[in-house]
Amino acid sequence: MIRTALPTDVAAIAALHTRARATYYRGRVPEEEYDGAAELARSREGWARAVGRAPSQGRVFCAERDGEVTGVAAFLTADGETTLTQLHVDPAHWRRGTGAALHAACLDAWRRAGIERVRLEVYGHNLRAQAFYASHGWRPDPADTSSGTHRTLWLRVPRASGE
């Protein structure tokens, strides 16, 4: 089930976020940058802000199965641009359609809001995420020639069938 995240979900979301990040950061960046008490507190604060923002500024969706938060997606709209800021699935729940369902919920929200184009940044070594986004229509920014740690991708929000 996909639903809007609630303040009571923040601790579970932050813990899930940490587990997901460990799968692509471990061995590439220092552990304290994605794990540990200080990072978990910072993550909780960030997720609390995201969950608490006005719907016109973005949304946070949770995937839930048997009462457990198994995935999360968040987007932010600011200064006329919408960014998919987070999409994480608990590694214990990979390959079950959770990411696709969260992505579909975002697409539906973007269509309803009249958003036509969305951006995201993905960690360059996270090939699993890059393949996921490519399969959902996201394309690299042709102007992005940086060799930094992240790649910028763009999505033209497709219109709903029948429109």
Residue 163 lies in a domain: no
Total count of domains within the chain: 1
Task: Kindly state the average pLDDT of the residues 80-99.
Answer: 92
Q: What value does the mean pLDDT of the chain take?
A: 88
CA distance 24 to 22: 6
Give tens-digit pLDDT for 93-124: 888 899 999 999 999 999 999 999 999 999 88
Which residue range(s) make up the domain with 117? 2-156
Phi, psi of 70 (to 5 degrees): -110, -10
Q: What is the pTM of this model?
A: 0.87
Q: Does 163 score more than 70 pLDDT?
A: no
Residue 26 lies in a domain: yes
CA distance 65 to 93: 10
Task: Kindly state the average pLDDT of the residues 144-150.
Answer: 70
Residue 101 lies in a domain: yes
Q: Which of 53, 43, 25 is nearest to 129 (CA)?
A: 25
CATH code of the domain in which 112 resides: 3.40.630.30
Q: Does 85 score more than 60 pLDDT?
A: yes
Residue 161 lies in a domain: no
Residue 109 lies in a domain: yes
145 falls in which pLDDT band (50, 70, 90)?
Answer: low
Instruction: Identify whether the C-beta of residue 4 lies closer than 8 Å to the C-beta of residue 17.
Output: no
Q: What are 63's two structure tokens?
A: 């995937």
Residue 162 lies in a domain: no
Pairing of strands 150-156, 117-123: antiparallel
Task: Kindly state the average pLDDT of the residues 41-47.
Answer: 89
Residues in contact with 2: Cβ distance below 8 Å, sequence separation at least 6, in sequence order: 61, 62, 63, 64, 101, 102, 104, 105
CA distance 151 to 119: 10
| Most confident segment among 17-21, 102-106, 129-133 | 102-106
Residue 130 lies in a domain: yes
Residue 35 lies in a domain: yes
Task: Kindly state the average pLDDT of the residues 142-149.
Answer: 71
